[in-house]
């Protein structure tokens, strides 16, 4: 579904990615993990066209997305839950969700996302549907960010630090939501610091170090490789 080959990018004169290789297959949950500042968020931003690729290729569902602008990439069926949520704080909860509901039927294997489906997934959002997004708690804003991405009807959902700074119970709700989405056939690429939850959710993991994928494997393989966990991930 998603393939990165020898992907390079950076900011100004600073190069951050030095040949990232990555695959996400249909229905899979895959992670990018590693210490801070190693290129995980830059990888996501490059996939989404927010940072231009300097070399290599990004392909999605057999289409070359390399060099495409972000709005075109989003229309191809990739939904992003960005670091820091970046919701529209001046809009209501419902307006935030409706604002992105333009790509009906992108994912043919999953029923189209509607307000009803999002509210069923996150009942708190329905209770607050007419409130300004600025009045929501951090956890509710994160639910809104996920719901907004789902309303684009993505075939692939990308989440960058979706549980960072949230209370433990809210984090559990988010991970339960992701497990439900995966069980329904949605492909997921996730960056997070909660290794235990990622190992329960994901089929495969990719450890990023200094702009390169230095280790890839399953949850079982990762659990058995203490050197990777202690030396390259730092947990």
Which pLDDT tens digit goes with each residue over 125-142? 999 999 999 999 999 999
Q: Strands of 78-81's sheet, edge to edge?
A: 78-81, 156-160, 187-191, 29-33, 204-209, 212-217
Residue 118's pLDDT is 95
Say yes or no to pLDDT of 232 above 60: yes
In angstroms, the CA 172 to CA 189 distance is: 18
Which pLDDT tens digit goes with each residue over 69-85? 998 998 899 999 998 88
Residue 165's pLDDT is 85
CATH numbers and ranges of domains, the chain: 2-233 (3.40.50.300)
Which pLDDT tens digit goes with each residue over 59-68? 999 999 998 9
Quote the pTM value.
0.92
Q: What residue has token string 């995966």?
A: 182
Say yes or no to pLDDT of 95 above 90: yes
Query: Is residue 175 very low, low, confident or very high in pLDDT (cuts 50, 70, 90)?
Result: very high
Distances (CA, A) of 128 to 9, 85, 123, 176, 232: 40, 17, 9, 21, 41
As a whole number, the mean pLDDT across the chain is 91
Share of the chain above pLDDT 90, in %: 77
Q: What residue has token string 């999953």?
A: 110
In angstroms, the CA 212 to CA 214 distance is: 6
Residue 235's pLDDT is 58
Higher pLDDT, 45 or 106: 45
CB 118 within 8 A of CB 150: yes
The beta-strand segments (E) located in the chain are: 2-11, 14-24, 29-33, 53-60, 63-64, 78-81, 156-160, 187-191, 204-209, 212-217
């Amino acid at each position: 579904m998603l393939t990165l080959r020898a992907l390079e990018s950076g900011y100004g004169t600073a190069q951050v990615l030095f040949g990232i290789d990555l695959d996400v297959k249909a229905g899979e949950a895959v992670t990018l993990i590693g210490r801070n500042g190693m290129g995980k968020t830059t990888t996501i931003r490059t996939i989404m066209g927010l940072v231009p690729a300097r070399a290599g290729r990004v392909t999605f569902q057999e289409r070359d997305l390399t060099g495409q602008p972000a709005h075109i990439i989003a229309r191809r069926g990739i939904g992003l839950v960005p670091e820091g949520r970046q919701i529209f704080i001046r809009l209501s909860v419902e307006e935030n969700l409706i604002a992105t509901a333009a790509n009906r039927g992108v994912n043919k294997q999953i029923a189209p996302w509607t307000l009803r489906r999002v509210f069923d997934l996150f009942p708190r959002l329905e209770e607050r549907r007419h409130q300004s997004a600025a009045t929501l708690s951090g956890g509710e804003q994160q639910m809104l960010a996920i719901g907004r991405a789902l309303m684009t009807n993505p075939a692939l959902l990308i989440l960058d630090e979706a549980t960072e700074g949230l209370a433990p119970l809210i984090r559990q709700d988010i991970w339960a939501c992701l497990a439900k989405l995966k069980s329904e056939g949605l492909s997921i690429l996730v960056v997070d610091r909660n290794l235990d939850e990622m190992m329960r959710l994901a089929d495969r993991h990719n450890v990023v170090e200094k702009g390169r994928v230095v280790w890839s494997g399953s949850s079982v393989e990762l659990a058995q490789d203490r050197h990777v966990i202690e030396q390259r991930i730092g947990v």
